[in-house]
Homo-oligomer: A and B are copies of this chain.
């Protein structure tokens, strides 16, 4: 059964394509198309298994009902989980989702966004790899409706769905302190990212409030590829200094997962003594050794807000405001 178009149906029914278009879009009554004609058209469409060509529709209407979901790495379960919700909420609003991973490469990110714009996406939900607000402004040049998440630059007036990074970090740090820890290591990455900056400041502020001296030796930066080897070295550093860390805060799930791996493989004797804390949550934190106190991000809510904000922006180009959601601290 070859594909059938609106033109063919018009021909078969002996009416104009206008009429067919009206009827198949459910505007038959409104447009005063007789019942007989409507039935004839619908009958032909059904029997030929008509399916609208959305590409043609997009071109004609100037709207593709497609959005982009652009993140550093879709195989990271944090982004994967959000992707699943994004998909769901997008579908509810009639949008399909194009997914792309930037690999933390700004040039690639720009290329991807240009490609998606050429494909006439209506908007994009973006966890940008950009190191700062001005860079991001260039990247997202043009006026593509955009909602930022995970990597949010407040300096910009753009729409965003953020979380309380600083506060969550404080809460995690406080929890470690309450459990008697005073030497708290921090394993961080590429500290120019705004969420990471905030997480670091939450850690620092809490130590200060508690009158614990800040020791910059306790803070280790891992490069973006966060290879297992560099995590191992970081742990080595934290555990073998003169006054070693007794607890470690990891600033995201990948760091923590690698940390757990490294400690089990290189310092298994330490697993009972140490306490870990991490941003994002992973199932394995429930039973890993050491146990991990974590700050669970509200993935479902993040996705929901991203989609709602984006759709609002697409429809009304109404400038609403960004939002900040709260993590849930899981104490194990």
* Interchain Cβ contacts under 8 Å between A and B, 30 examples: A51-B117, A52-B118, A54-B120, A55-B119, A56-B59, A59-B59, A66-B119, A74-B74, A74-B80, A74-B83, A74-B84, A74-B87, A75-B81, A75-B83, A75-B84, A77-B77, A84-B101, A87-B100, A96-B115, A97-B99, A98-B98, A98-B99, A257-B283, A257-B284, A258-B283, A261-B283, A261-B284, A261-B286, A284-B288, A288-B288
- Nearest CB of chain B from residue A76's CB, rounded to whole Å: 8
**Contact mask A96-112 → B, CB, 8 Å, 1/0?**
11111100000000000
How many residues on chain A are close to B (CB under 8 Å)?
A: 47
B283 touches A264 (CB 8 A): no
Given A53-B120, A59-B59, A96-B115, 15 other A-B residues pairs in contact with their CB atoms under 8 A: A51-B114, A53-B118, A55-B64, A74-B99, A75-B81, A76-B80, A77-B77, A96-B98, A96-B119, A97-B99, A97-B100, A257-B284, A260-B284, A284-B284, A287-B288
Inside 8 A of A286's CB, which chain B residues have their CB? 261, 264-265
- Nearest B residue to A77 by beta-carbon distance? B77
Which residues in chain A, 67-88, are within 8 Å of chain B measured between CB atoms?
73-77, 80-81, 83-84, 87-88
Interface residues of A (CB under 8 A from B): 51-56, 58-59, 64, 66, 73-77, 80-81, 83-84, 87-88, 91, 96-101, 114-120, 257-258, 260-261, 264-265, 283-284, 286-289
Copies in the complex: 2
A73 to B76 alpha-carbon distance, docked (Å): 14
Inside 8 A of A100's CB, which chain B residues have their CB? 87, 91, 96-97
Inside 8 A of A53's CB, which chain B residues have their CB? 59, 118, 120
The DSSP consensus for interface residues of chain A is: helix
Inside 8 A of A81's CB, which chain B residues have their CB? 75
A51 to B51 alpha-carbon distance, docked (Å): 29
B284 touches A265 (CB 8 A): no
A120-B55 contact in complex given A87-B99, A98-B97, A98-B98, C-beta closer than 8 Å: yes
Inside 8 A of A96's CB, which chain B residues have their CB? 98, 100, 115-116, 119
A272 to B284 alpha-carbon distance, docked (Å): 18
- Nearest B residue to A3 by beta-carbon distance? B142
